[in-house]
Amino acid sequence: MPTVTNRKLTMTRAGTPVGTKFNVVVTYTVNFSQVESNLVGLGMTFADEAVLIGVDPPGGTTGTPLRLVGGGLIPVTGKNQSQSIEREHKAVVNRLLLDEDPDTISIDDDEIRCRIQVSSPNLSTNLTQAFTDQVILDVPVNQ
């Protein structure tokens, strides 16, 4: 199964007024073994998906999917050697969409991670699931 390393989630304030939106960048490396590279030569394909999730409890890896950041076919070639493919996905996300506890009465910070999944359309199950570090967004700006 491919592995995902060098996972990083960066979220910077944007929008007018500043803070109403976030520029989101997710970067990571997908590593393929020699066997997986050989399977590509036989017609197998691999795809990834990066989804922002609201994390509960803080520090966990489960939560509500909030927004797809990106994904698609990974350009692996059919080589007889291992390969590492750098991936980067970007999105501009409205701050209100990042409220991972919308039904709570008290206003609190939002804990966000990106869930990265690598799959093969040739198979019926995800091959790899990994997570970035958690980013904590302070209380939302009134809009």
Q: How does pLDDT run across 75-94, given as a tens digit for each residue?
A: 999 889 999 999 999 999 99
20-29, 35-44, 103-112, 121-130, range with the lowest pLDDT? 103-112
* Percent of the chain topping pLDDT 70: 92
Residue 16 has pLDDT above 90, yes or no: no
Q: Return the pLDDT at 104.
A: 64
Record the tokens describing residue 81, joined without a space. Answer: 């050697």
pTM of this structure: 0.86
Instruction: Confirm if 83 and 34 have CB atoms less than 8 A apart.
Output: no
Class of domain 3-137: mainly beta
Q: What is d(CA 138, CA 2) in angstroms, rounded to the nearest whole number?
A: 35
Q: Which residue has the higher pLDDT, 137 or 111?
A: 111
Q: Which residue has the higher pLDDT, 57 or 6?
A: 6
Q: What is d(CA 49, CA 47) in angstroms, rounded to the nearest whole number?
A: 7
83-131 pLDDT tens trace:
999 999 999 999 888 887 766 666 678 889 999 999 998 787 777 888 8
* R_g of the chain, CA atoms, integer Å: 17
The residues spanned by each domain of the chain are 3-137
* pLDDT mean over 65-73: 93
Residue 51 has pLDDT above 80, yes or no: yes
Q: Return the pLDDT at 143.
A: 44
In the chain the first and final C-alpha atoms are separated, in Å, by 44
